[in-house]
Amino acid sequence: MINTSKVYSDYVAFVQSKSLRGRSKAEYLRQVRKLAERHPERSLKQLTERAVLDHLIHLRDQQKLRPSTLNQAVVALRLFYRDYLGRKWQLWEAFEIRRDQPLPVVLSRSEVRALLHAVRENRFKAVLALIYHCGLRVGEAVRLRPRDIDRERGVLRVIDGKGGRNREVPIAHGMIERLGHYWLFHRNQAWLFPGVGRAWRERCKTLRAAMACADKPMSVSSVQAALRIVVASAQIKKAATCHSLRHSFATHLLESGVSIRQVSEYLGHASVASTLIYLHVTEISEGKGREAQAALIEQALR
């Protein structure tokens, strides 16, 4: 069995020594086990470069893994064979991942307004409004703690975002006040958005009491489910998700003249290149572009 072999147990120690996030370590080990399961007749050290390449092709063409998941498999197997076993293989450069990058679903300002007005439960309205206001990922939003809001500086601290990165995002005084009133309703000391679970009525007399004693944050799935209901009730025809609010935040800032570098920092992107896709969906008209171009030469020749 792969989980009892010496090469695998030594590799586990090798991975644990790396400064990787816990989820990344678990995924790297899972991908190596997945390869071993396809070749039970041979040990991992006996597999050839061609066998590993065929495995990756199988994941891409037969299992139809998403590009991001497929990339995790490549990184995991590269760590095992190149960095751990020292195999100088060429397949890491030869193997291609087709990265389809569809344009993000972006809501107009009026659609965002209609969506938020359609939210019935205040706890979901608060978290969805904050996702749009600060461009958060839904997982980042639900994990926020009351102390993450710096009222004096007017910033929201996002701790351990994607890739383990921390960042600060501006938060308007009005939003701070709204969140303050929301927190006063439940007064949970640990979570800004406490989770109550489906059976909270059986445990507590009121929603307020359930939120006050909650020991876990609101779940991502509950926010996603609430958003789906709201999209339907607001009669929004786009395939909007919680992430669409983040997309809309970025697009609307760019349309308002905020620099792409600044928007990239707000979003917590590792590179400005990840933010460039929003330039394709901004509604800055050709007319505005022509006006700006004409102004340039007029100012230069004045």
How many beta carbons lie within 10 A of that of residue 166, not counting itself? 10
203-242 confidence digits (pLDDT tens): 888 999 999 999 999 999 999 999 999 999 999 999 999 9
Q: Tell me, yes or no, if 39 is annotated catalytic.
A: no
Q: Tell me, yes or no, if 246 is annotated catalytic.
A: yes
Q: Tell me, yes or no, if 162 is annotated catalytic.
A: yes
Whether 207 maps to a domain, the answer reads no
Cβ-proximal residues to 241 (8 Å cutoff; 6+ apart), any chain: 105, 224, 227
Question: Do 16 and 114 fall within a single domain?
Answer: no
Last residue of a domain, which of 47, 65, 94? 94
Q: Are 138 and 224 in contact (CB under 8 A)?
A: yes
Q: According to the model, what pLDDT value does residue 153 have?
A: 94
Given 123, 137, 143, 186, which residue is catalytic? 137
The whole-angstrom separation of Cα 130 and Cα 246 is 10
Label residue 1 by pLDDT band (50, 70, 90).
very low
Given 25, 82, 162, 208, which residue is catalytic? 162
Q: Are 218 and 123 in contact (CB under 8 A)?
A: yes
Question: Do 121 and 151 fall within a single domain?
Answer: yes
Whether 294 maps to a domain, the answer reads no
pLDDT above 70 covers a percentage of the chain that reads 92
Whether 86 maps to a domain, the answer reads yes
Residues in the chain: 302
Question: Do 81 and 167 fall within a single domain?
Answer: no
274-300 confidence digits (pLDDT tens): 888 888 777 655 556 567 667 765 666
Structural domain for 56, as ranges: 2-94
CATH number at residue 258: 1.10.443.10
Q: Tell me, yes or no, if 278 is annotated catalytic.
A: yes
Q: Are 193 and 168 in contact (CB under 8 A)?
A: no
Q: Tell me, yes or no, if 66 is annotated catalytic.
A: no
Looking at the DSSP assignment, which residues form a beta bridge with residue 157? Answer: 168
Whether 269 maps to a domain, the answer reads yes
Question: Do 129 and 18 fall within a single domain?
Answer: no
Given 8, 182, 266, 278, which residue is catalytic? 278
Residue 204, judged by CB atoms within 10 A of its CB (0-12, 13-18, 19+), counts as: middle
Give the ranges where the chain is alpha helix by DSSP (H). 6-16, 22-38, 49-61, 67-78, 91-94, 109-117, 122-134, 138-142, 173-186, 200-203, 207-212, 220-233, 242-255, 260-267, 286-301
SS3 240: coil
Q: According to the model, what pLDDT value does residue 103 have?
A: 81
Q: Are 77 and 202 in contact (CB under 8 A)?
A: no
CATH number at residue 76: 1.10.150.130
Q: Which two tokens stand for residue 210?
A: 């359930």
Whether 206 maps to a domain, the answer reads no
The C-alpha angle 128, 211, 185, rounded to 5 degrees, equals: 75
Question: Do 113 and 75 fall within a single domain?
Answer: no
The whole-angstrom separation of Cα 90 and Cα 50 is 10
Q: Is pTM, for the whole model, over 0.85? A: no
Number of domains in the chain: 2
Question: Do 89 and 114 fall within a single domain?
Answer: no
The whole-angstrom separation of Cα 166 and Cα 160 is 5
Question: Do 44 and 121 fall within a single domain?
Answer: no
Given 246, 247, 252, 266, which residue is catalytic? 246
Question: Do 17 and 143 fall within a single domain?
Answer: no
Question: Do 139 and 81 fall within a single domain?
Answer: no
Question: Do 132 and 69 fall within a single domain?
Answer: no
Question: Do 113 and 87 fall within a single domain?
Answer: no
Whether 210 maps to a domain, the answer reads no
Question: Do 66 and 6 fall within a single domain?
Answer: yes
135-184 confidence digits (pLDDT tens): 999 999 999 999 999 999 999 999 988 878 899 999 999 999 999 999 99
